[in-house]
Amino acid sequence: MDYLPVVLVLLGTLSSCLAGAPRTTTPTTTPTDELSFQAMVAAPVNFSSESRIVGGQAANPGQFPHQVAMVVEAGEGAGRETSFCGGSILTETIVVTAAHCIPSETRKITVYAGANSIHDEPTKQELEVDSFIVHGGFSKYRNDIALVLLNTSLQFNERVQAIQLPPKDVGALVGSKVVMSGWGRTTTHGDISPVLRYVESYVLPNPVCQLPYLLLMQIDESHVCVSGLFKKGTCMGDSGGPLSTIKGKDGNATLVGITSFGMKYSCLVSWPPVFTRVASFLGWIEDGMEQLQGKRRPEGVKHLSRSTTRTP
């Protein structure tokens, strides 16, 4: 097991703590009356030497068939906004994302699957969300997980597939290589990427991850962190997207985490990005899926517009 990234990030986070005020990772939010997928990238993306995903590269078509993009519309009138997040396909009708991507005033969610570019592609599938459930214990840094139910079924093919959930006994995976993917901003103040991007990193021990967040919050078993060295990591717009294992010989990847939050200074070393550890929420995911599918009493389910009838 290669612990070099762990040693490097330990040194880096210690120096980062002396830098300055942190910046919180949030969904990319753009006030607009244009609610289409393409409208979220009206301006050119600012690619620079600080390329942020951060430090990543463009994904090949079908490389991350479980990845979806979500445009979330919330608020009314002058307070109306749209935000951009990611998500992961669990079944033909259910996507998992971050709770902070779905504010309480959400009115409409559109999900896009099967395309690397956020401009039109023949393989793109566009669906609306019928209902969603957010973890009841969600707070700024805790239980950042939600499920959405689509109003029609995704058509699975080589570009659109479900991702595997981890086994209950998956362990901490410290030192394991993982991959982050998303359309998030490539620079701190830039626009979201027009193409899906990804970056590989390593899982850190929680005590190492805790160092830079010591005065902010506690990193516990519900979190998983990766190395944020050399400006590699997630940024605004990647929220809710997957942290997954590298595909094995069987061609399958496993969902390790959900992009939740992170801090970054304007220096070489970033604070470790923090993800919701999926293995810690397997019971909640099972219960939430059953509620959305009507197999259990829908205590936490919120329905969106009923102007469209859900079809199988």
In a domain, 205, yes or no: yes
Q: Which residue in 51, 66, 88, 100 is the catalytic one?
A: 100
Q: Which residue in 51, 181, 222, 239 is the catalytic one?
A: 239
- Give pLDDT < 70 ranges for the chain: 1-55, 78, 184-192, 229-237, 249, 263-270, 305-312
- Give the Cβ contact number of residue 254 at 10 Å: 20
C-alpha to C-alpha distance for 69 and 85, rounded to whole angstroms: 6
Would you state the pLDDT for residue 236?
A: 45
C-alpha to C-alpha distance for 55 and 249, rounded to whole angstroms: 26
- Residue 242: CATH number of its domain: 2.40.10.120
Domain limits at 225?
57-295
In a domain, 123, yes or no: yes
C-alpha to C-alpha distance for 59 and 241, rounded to whole angstroms: 14
Q: How many domains does the chain have?
A: 1
Q: Catalytic residue at 100?
A: yes
Residues sharing a CB contact under 8 Å with residue 282, sequence separation 6 or more, in sequence order: 165, 166, 168
Which tokens in the block code for residue 163? 């991702």
Would you state the pLDDT for residue 46?
A: 27
Q: Catalytic residue at 239?
A: yes
In a domain, 92, yes or no: yes
Task: Note the helical H segments in the chain.
Answer: 4-16, 206-210, 282-292
The pTM of the whole model exceeds 0.85? no
In a domain, 86, yes or no: yes
Q: Which residue in 131, 135, 144, 260 is the catalytic one?
A: 144
In a domain, 46, yes or no: no
In a domain, 74, yes or no: yes
Q: Catalytic residue at 307?
A: no
C-alpha to C-alpha distance for 53 and 193, rounded to whole angstroms: 8
Distances (CA, A) of 1 to 5, 27, 250: 11, 34, 22
Give 170's Cβ-side CA count (13 Å radius): 23
* Strand ranges (E), the chain: 28-30, 57-58, 67-74, 81-89, 94-97, 106-113, 125-134, 146-150, 177-182, 197-202, 223-225, 242-245, 255-261, 274-277, 301-303
- Give the Cβ contact number of residue 210 at 10 Å: 19
